[in-house]
Amino acid sequence: MISPIQRTRCSQLCTVVAALALLVAFAAPAAAQLVPYGSRPPADNIGTPGYRYKIVAQGATDAAFPSCTGLDDTWQHGAAPWFGEPEPCELPNCNPGLCVIYQDAETPWVPSVSDILVCYTVELCGELDTIDDVSLRVDNDAAVFVDGVAGTVTSGVGEAGDGNAPFCWAGPADDPDNDGLSTDGLCMSEGCPDSGPLPANSGTGQDKMVFTGFAAAGAGEHIIAVRARNRTQLSFLDIEVNGTGEVGPCAEVCVGDDDDDDDDDDDTQELKDE
Q: Are residues 9 and 76 both part of a single domain?
A: no
Q: How far apart, in whole angstroms, are the C-alpha atoms of residue 239 and residue 132?
A: 14
Q: Are residues 117 and 9 both part of a single domain?
A: no
Instruction: State pTM to two decimals.
Output: 0.80
Q: Are residues 24 and 38 both part of a single domain?
A: no
Q: Are residues 124 and 2 both part of a single domain?
A: no
Q: Helix-strand-coil percent breakdown of the chain, rounded to 5?
A: 15, 30, 55
Regarding beta strands 130-139 and 152-156, do their DSSP bridges make them parallel or antiparallel, or are they unpaired? Answer: unpaired
Total number of domains in the chain: 2
What residues make up the domain containing 221?
30-245
CA dist 144 → 12, 130, 178, 187, 206 (Å)? 45, 16, 21, 9, 18
Contact 259, 204 (CB under 8 A): no
pLDDT truncated to tens, each residue of the chain (274 aa)?
A: 555 544 444 444 444 444 444 544 455 678 989 988 877 654 444 434 568 889 999 999 999 999 999 999 999 876 554 555 555 677 777 778 888 888 777 776 777 789 999 998 899 999 999 999 999 999 999 999 999 999 999 999 999 888 899 999 999 999 999 999 999 999 999 988 888 776 655 567 889 999 999 989 999 999 999 999 999 878 888 899 999 999 888 877 555 555 555 555 454 344 444 4
Q: How far apart, in whole angstroms, are the C-alpha atoms of residue 179 and residue 158?
A: 13
Q: Are residues 49 and 160 both part of a single domain?
A: yes
Q: How far apart, in whole angstroms, are the C-alpha atoms of residue 149 and residue 199?
A: 35
Closest CA to 133 of 144, 148, 124: 144
Exposed/middle/buried for residue 16 (C-beta within 10 Å: 0-12, 13-18, 19+): exposed
Phi-psi label, residue 196: left if phi above 0, alpha if psi -120 to 50, beta otherwise = beta
